[in-house]
Structure formats: structure tokens, C-alpha cells
Amino acid sequence: MRLEQSLFGAAFQNPVVLAAGTCGFGREVAGVVDLESLGGIVTKSVTLEPREGNPPPRVTEFGPGMLNSIGLANPGAERAAREKLPWLARNLRRARVFVSVAGHAPGEYVRVVEALDSRDGFLGYELNLSCPNDARLEGLPFALDRDALAGLIRDVRARTDRPVLAKLAPNDPDPGATARAAEEAGADGLTLVNTLPGLVLEPGSGRPVLGAGSGGVSGPALRPLGVWAVERARRRCSLPIVGAGGVSTAEDAVQYLRAGASLVQVGTASFADPRAALGIVAGLEAWGRRRGIGSVAELVGAGPGRRDAPDAPRGPAAGVVTVGE
């Protein structure tokens, strides 16, 4: 199965991308994972000013997932431009880089983009509109306020010619409507989904396990929600979608592709095995080859497969696109 696709004006050698916040700015993980064998990476979110992040512990595990509250720890836009982008420019040729951008106000996103835009080392931006851990943010994240989201995307769109992805939230009752709003505002693609707000308490004391209190839920528990959000967004908008949430195997990635994602991000799985994403690339190729699927693009949005496919959960409905054989 051919894994390459052309998206956002660039060639992606395969659909597997490291998620924001799980690989720093690339260099931090380059000793343990061959980044040039991946479709790409998304950097840690960059804010205008440097941030120390939240008090420890910042991460804890629970049954089927993980809870984090890192608190946007990052060097700020100026140092990211000076100290992080040059390494990416020198070292990543085949893997595509998106810089994640975060802030408290639309103007902060715009200023981060203005600080980075003339530099080399990255393809485009992923606007983090859905961080669950920003104590300084009052009210809803931008991703859950469609008017604010649309205004912010329009402001950024006007400042850059690079591709702009909008990263949306999992606790959105109507991700299709939000996806549509992002498309109309000028986004080039969507990333679905960020982590889900959650709280883990120590039963004895009742105190939160994380230093910051609540955090963002990721890992396998998040996957059905992410796949559902991608499928809903696919129905309402025609932008390329990047699926994220609980991908740890090639089969997980296939679910996102079939639901309508063109790329998939791997996050939490990399903490258990830094090379998990490479295994998913190899597993995807083998999965498709065994089924006679010519290219990954054939899978995107293909929905349910044939009744006789080895692991098809149910048979095809009338009019449903099938792939393979």
C-alpha cells in the first residue's frame, strides 16, 4: 500500500505524525526515534511569552489512559524562532513540521505567527484552540466558542500564507458545526481532537493527583470520541482532517482514516514506547498490503469495509464506499 499523500501543498511520505506536546521541538526525541521516517511532527505549543508550566506532578496514569497538566511550558515565540526552528530546518527534510500556537487572545496567536513566519524549518501552524489546562484562560477555550474561533482563524489567516490547522476540542457536542465554522473562516485543515478535561483524585485525601488539579485525558479512552468527532466533521466540511486521540496501533490509525482523517497523530503511545509511531507506519503498510489496498488515500473516509474483510465489524450498507480487492 502506498503511504504518500499530497496535502497542504506538500508531500507527506506517510500519514503518521507526532502530536503536539509529545515530542518537544523534535530535537528532544531525535536520539530515540528517526523523525525522518515519519509523516511529520507538531511542536509543543508556542505562546508569545515563555511559560514555566504547572507544578508537578504534571502527568499521571489511570486505567485506559493518561491525565496531563503541563500548563503550556514552552520557551516563548522569540526563543522558539531563534533556538528551535534552526534545528528543524537543518535536520528535517522529509518529515513535515507544524508549529503549534497557543495564547489567551487572538492577538497573541497573531503575534506568535508574526514572530515565526519568516523563518525556515516548518510547513505551517496548528492553532491550539482547545488546551484544557490553561489556568489563565477564563471561560471556554476558543474551540468551544464558534464566533471567537472563527474570528481568531480569520485574524491568523490574514497574516500568513502557510497552511493553518485548527485543533478542536473533544467535549464539543456538535463537532460538525465547529468544523464548518473553521472552514468558512479560512482554516486549511482540522486536527481532531485535543485531550478531554478530567480529574483524578487520591481517594484517601480527596486531593487531586496532579499538581495543577485537573488535566487533559488522553490515551485509549479518548479514541472512540476522537473517531466520532472526525466522522462528524467529515460530514460537514471538506477540509483535510488530522485525527488524534488514543492511536497506539495501525488498526487504531485505520479507524481514523476510515472515519475521514487524512493524517493521524500519535501522542500518549509514544510515552510508553518512543518508537510507537514508527511501528504504526510499518503496521499500516502491512495492513493495507494484506488487503490489496493500493494507497492510503483510498482508505480516507471509506467508512465500513466489506463483510468478508478479516476484521470488518459489520457488512457494508448500500452506497457505502468499500476498499480493496
The answer to whether 30 and 322 have CB atoms below 8 angstroms apart is no
128 binds ligand RRO (CB under 6 A): yes
72 binds ligand RRO (CB under 6 A): yes
268 binds ligand RRO (CB under 6 A): no
CA distance 89 to 81: 11
266 binds ligand RRO (CB under 6 A): no
Of the chain, the end-to-end C-alpha distance in Å amounts to 12
Smallest gap from residue 226 Cβ to ligand RRO (A) = 13
Active site residue 237: no
Burial pattern 273-307, b for ≥16 Cβ within 10 A else e, equals ebebbbbbbebbbebbeebebeebbbbbbbbbbee
In the complex with ligand RRO, which residue's Cβ is closer, 264 or 300? 264
Instruction: Select the residue interacting with ligand RRO from 5, 14, 43, 45 (CB under 6 A).
Output: 45
Inter-helix orientation angle 276-290/250-259, to 10°:
70
| Catalytic residue chosen out of the listed positions 42, 131, 217, 266 | 131
The residue count for binding ligand RRO (CB under 6 A) is 15
195 binds ligand RRO (CB under 6 A): yes
Q: What is the Cα 107 distance to its own chain's centre? A: 23
Instruction: Select the residue interacting with ligand RRO from 5, 22, 43, 194 (CB under 6 A).
Output: 194
Instruction: Select the residue interacting with ligand RRO from 88, 102, 110, 179 (CB under 6 A).
Output: 102
Binding mask 198-217 for ligand RRO (x = CB under 6 A): ------------------x-
Omega within 30 of 0 (cis) for the link into 193? yes
245 binds ligand RRO (CB under 6 A): no
71 binds ligand RRO (CB under 6 A): yes
CA distance 92 to 100: 17
Please tell me the total number of residues recorded for the chain in this structure: 325
Which of helix, strand or coil describes residue 259? helix
Q: What is the largest CA-CA distance in the chain?
A: 58
CA distance 156 to 151: 9
The answer to whether 187 and 153 have CB atoms below 8 angstroms apart is yes
Which of helix, strand or coil describes residue 222? helix
265 binds ligand RRO (CB under 6 A): no
Smallest gap from residue 245 Cβ to ligand RRO (A) = 11
In the complex with ligand RRO, which residue's Cβ is closer, 14 or 195? 195
Cell of 115: 514572530
Instruction: Select the residue interacting with ligand RRO from 35, 38, 110, 131 (CB under 6 A).
Output: 131
Instruction: Select the residue interacting with ligand RRO from 5, 14, 69, 268 (CB under 6 A).
Output: 69
Binding mask 148-187 for ligand RRO (x = CB under 6 A): ----------------------------------------
Which of helix, strand or coil describes residue 167? strand
Instruction: Select the residue interacting with ligand RRO from 3, 12, 18, 21 (CB under 6 A).
Output: 21
Which residues are known catalytic residues? 131
Binding site for ligand RRO (CB under 6 A): 21, 45, 68-72, 102, 128, 131-133, 194-195, 216
